[in-house]
Amino acid sequence: MSRPVPLLSASGLTKTHGRTPALRGASVDLHAGEILAVTGASGSGKSTLLHCLAGIVRPDGGSVSYDGRRLEDLPEKRLSELRRTEFGVVFQFGQLIPELTALDNVALPLLLAGTDRARARVRAGEWLERFGVRGQEDLRPGEMSGGQAQRTALARALVTGPKVVFADEPTGALDSLAGEQVMTALLHTVRESGTAVLLITHDAQVAAYADREIQLRDGAVAPLGVTA
């Protein structure tokens, strides 16, 4: 059976930080609507892979294509636009803007994309509700629990309707129950919206929310099992 063309595809990625090689020929395909877990030991290149796939960092070698476009061919301005409109990103620490309320944090990507303020706030409120952050719209990040902050960060990542969400250890700073709430909220939301997720985690219980797993070892994808 032939699989459909992947939405996002990387082949032979290499990247060196200073003199340390982080990626040594990593290749990965992400299909539309798929949740893919990327696991591996610390230093195996997981985060660098995410940064290259999301167009945050340009690899030294290899190629990344998204929806038929090669990222390395895009000028910075187009790449930045692609990141803003098609991709959402969540990190281990949500990196919310501390001065803004939950509602304004979520509305921000819409405002940057030109949506008017009133509509942006309404949509942000709807997304916060989908992630179970109700009644906390006016809290600032410092006043939220870790789980609330991460669910707010997820709402912010999804509010523009991206095709791909990149999540780098989204539950890494949470206890297991808060982590479970974040993952369940993410799972149900992306299943409804058909958003693909590249999920980086060192935790097998988090990886088990994904449809599939690849393991990185020394900057390349390790063969999984014997069922290649």
Closest CB to other proteins among residues 142, 225: 225
Closest CB to other proteins among residues 61, 223: 223
Closest CB to other proteins among residues 24, 217: 217
Q: How is 167-207 classified by DSSP, letter by letter?
A: EESTTTTS-HHHHHHHHHHHHHHHHHHT-EEEEE-S-HHHH
Closest CB to other proteins among residues 64, 210: 210
Shortest Cβ 199–other proteins spacing (Å): 12
Closest CB to other proteins among residues 97, 224: 224
Binding site for other proteins (CB under 8 A): 41, 183-184, 187-188, 204-205, 207-211, 213, 222-227
Shortest Cβ 187–other proteins spacing (Å): 6
Shortest Cβ 50–other proteins spacing (Å): 20
DSSP-derived pairing of the beta strands 35-39 and 212-217: parallel
Residue 30's nearest CA partner among 73, 74, 67, 63 is: 67
Shortest Cβ 194–other proteins spacing (Å): 17
78: phi > 0 → left, psi -120 to 50 → alpha, else beta; which? alpha
Shortest Cβ 215–other proteins spacing (Å): 8
Closest CB to other proteins among residues 116, 192: 192
Shortest Cβ 207–other proteins spacing (Å): 7
